[in-house]
Amino acid sequence: MSATVTFDLNRYLQERARFIDDALERYLPSEQERPQLLHRAMRYSTLSGGKRLRPILVIAGAEAVGGTAEAVLPTACAIELIHTFSLIHDDLPAIDNDTLRRGRPTCHVQFGEAVAILAGDALFAGAFELIALNADTAPSERVVQVLHLIAEASGTRGMVGGQMVDILSEGKAVDAETLEYIHLHKTAALIRASVVAGALLAGGSCWQVEALGTYGTKVGLAFQIADDLLNVTGDPSKTGKAVGTDAARGKATYPALFGVEASQKRAQQLIQEAIAALHVFGEQAEPLRAIAHFIVEREG
């Protein structure tokens, strides 16, 4: 008789998110340390109940090649700090001018623009301090590779570059190639870097890292398509942010260019391709397969 073991994704996500939250709590500067206002803002935006998808992908990438969550924890938290930085700056009046994030007032609404800008800057710098800390549990040459990977995925060849083209495209008719450039750089680059960083730190081989890179790019693109769809069809009580804002700002999105149904199909197709890239792995990659489905099925 063969027993079918179904992977419990909810439990996996909850346990790892708790593990990451506890570590972030320890790594972030205390509100009692000077400058207290800056530290309050950094903690307010970071410890505010995000899904922790990117740090969970660092851990799942490490586990896929036989590593552990403990060994990659500083880098997992570093990526959450970069992500939180990008959200704070993305919400600023000069960029998206959003007032609600993770169900709470955005950082600049709560603390003022100057504090929000500096909180973002300090989180970004703090991320690289944390990656360097990972030399305690991973070989230094792997840590250097990860520093390069994450810096590139965050900068002009990654998130910042994608964000720039996103802003320049507002209110314009963009073609499919430009839309894909925006999504691959603004969102998929950091998601890919998360999975690959975990695998590199845990000693993954070249072919394992390459397969996980393909997985990361495809789920990263699917993630942004799903985010575009949630901005059209989502429920603010579940997304924790306003809906309908992309259309109001004339943003370049998948539903705007291709419609809701074709966008859903494209996201599903990317998830199938991402899972196919994992064929070289056994059951150690089961969390990554389940996360791929979650990325397009989530409601928030």
Q: Is 200 in the site for ligand GRG (CB under 6 A)?
A: no
Closer CB to ligand GRG, 76 or 159, in the complex: 159
The residue written with tokens 């109940």 in the block is 49
Closer CB to ligand GRG, 208 or 224, in the complex: 224
Q: Is 134 in the site for ligand GRG (CB under 6 A)?
A: no
As measured in angstroms, the least distance from the Cβ of 24 to ligand GRG is 12
Count of residues engaged in binding ligand GRG, rule: CB under 6 A: 21
Closer CB to ligand GRG, 203 or 240, in the complex: 240
Q: Is 231 in the site for ligand GRG (CB under 6 A)?
A: no
Q: Which of 40, 43, 102, 266 binds ligand GRG (CB under 6 A)?
A: 102
Region from 50-58, 208-216, 264-272, 281-289 binding ligand GRG, contact rule CB under 6 A: 50-58
Closer CB to ligand GRG, 111 or 124, in the complex: 124
Closer CB to ligand GRG, 92 or 132, in the complex: 92
Lay out the site mask for ligand GRG across 57-96 (x = CB under 6 A, - = otherwise).
Answer: -------------------------xx-xxx-xx----x-
Q: Which of 13, 24, 42, 53 binds ligand GRG (CB under 6 A)?
A: 53
Residues that bind ligand GRG (CB under 6 A): 50-51, 53, 82-83, 85-87, 89-90, 95, 102, 124, 154, 159-160, 163, 186-187, 224, 227
